[in-house]
Every structure is written in C-alpha cells, then in structure tokens.
Amino acid sequence: MTTRLIFISLCFAIFLMNCGGKEDKKKEGFSYEKKTATEHTVKTAETVPASKQVALNNKGVGPITSIELDAEINQDLAAKGEDVYKKMCTACHRPDKKFIGPPPTGILERRSPEWIMNMILNPEGMVQKDPLAKALLIEFNGSPMANQNLTQEEARAVLEYFRTLK
C-alpha cells in the first residue's frame, strides 16, 4: 500500500518537474520555434534545397516525353505564354521572387523543358511519382501545385515565356 503511494507521488513529482521545465522555455520567447525551410527537408544526404538542385536530365512524369527547343526564342509564343502565366499562375508564382511557389526565372538552367511542362500539366502525378516534385512540395510548405487545366499548347507557350526570364 505504502509503496504504491510513494510511486504515485514520485510520478506526480516528475510530472510537475516536466511542467516547470516547459514554463522556463516559454520565458525565452519564440526563437526556439523558428527553423528554416531547408531543415524541413529531412534526413537525406542532400543539403541543396530541391528548388536549387539542377536536374536537366529528369523529364518528369506526364504527357510530355520529348520537346525540341529552337535556338531562337519565339517571341509571339512567349507573349502568349506570358498572358496565360498572368491569368493562371501569378496567384502562386511571381516571376522573380519566391511567393507561394518558386519563381520561374532561370528555371531552364535547372529543369528540362519536359519536366516543366509535366509539372504544369500533371502536378498530381508529379508529386506522387517524381522525387524532385515531391521534395519541392515539402520545401514549399506542403502547398500543392494547382492543376489549372492548361492545354498542351498553353503549357508550351508558358515554357517559351519562361525562356525569356533569365
């Protein structure tokens, strides 16, 4: 009987101590909660965030398997792409700064044209099957890339517009 009582009291004491410890931390303010986004990308060997990785051979998963780009940028097509981009993409992507998602400026130095179009046309499939797309989802706080139901032609125009963003 007595042993049990002692045990319970002990547990209670430990419990109280734990509580006390937390209270101490509170006094320190908010700094302990703050972590950078990169720390979120868990315990992989990579230290380069997904958005900065260069993966020009990765074509991604989706309807686009091969795209040939002309050496010259087609300015008409790019203008069309800019129009589509403004209407469909700017809610989450600003051209040159991180917003909800990453900025498209310089994206062709990091991604293949096929990957870019597949990400636009098949975001659900990409997030499930493409490791890089999955890593990007985590890096960007779990914000899903919305499928804005672009046609292949529209996505191709957006790609051309991206080529002008350097």
Phi, psi at residue 111, to the nearest 5°? -125, 155
End-to-end CA, the chain: 78
Query: Do residues 114 and 66 make contact, with C-beta atoms less than 8 angstroms apart?
Result: yes
**Does 146 participate in binding another protein (rule CB under 8 A)?**
yes
Q: How far apart are CA 161 and CA 82, in angstroms?
A: 6
Helices (H) and strands (E) in the chain, counts: 7, 0
Out of 10, 144, 151, 152, the only residue in the binding site for another protein (CB under 8 A) is: 144
Residues in region 18-77 near another protein by CB under 8 A? none
**Does 91 participate in binding another protein (rule CB under 8 A)?**
yes
Q: How far apart are CA 131 and CA 64, in angstroms?
A: 17
Considering only 36-44, 83-91, 112-120, 125-133, which stretch makes contact with another protein by CB under 8 A? Answer: 83-91
Q: Which is nearer to another protein, 53 or 95 (CB)?
A: 95
Out of 20, 21, 29, 142, the only residue in the binding site for another protein (CB under 8 A) is: 142
Out of 50, 77, 88, 132, the only residue in the binding site for another protein (CB under 8 A) is: 88
Residues that bind another protein (CB under 8 A): 86-88, 90-92, 99-100, 141-144, 146-150
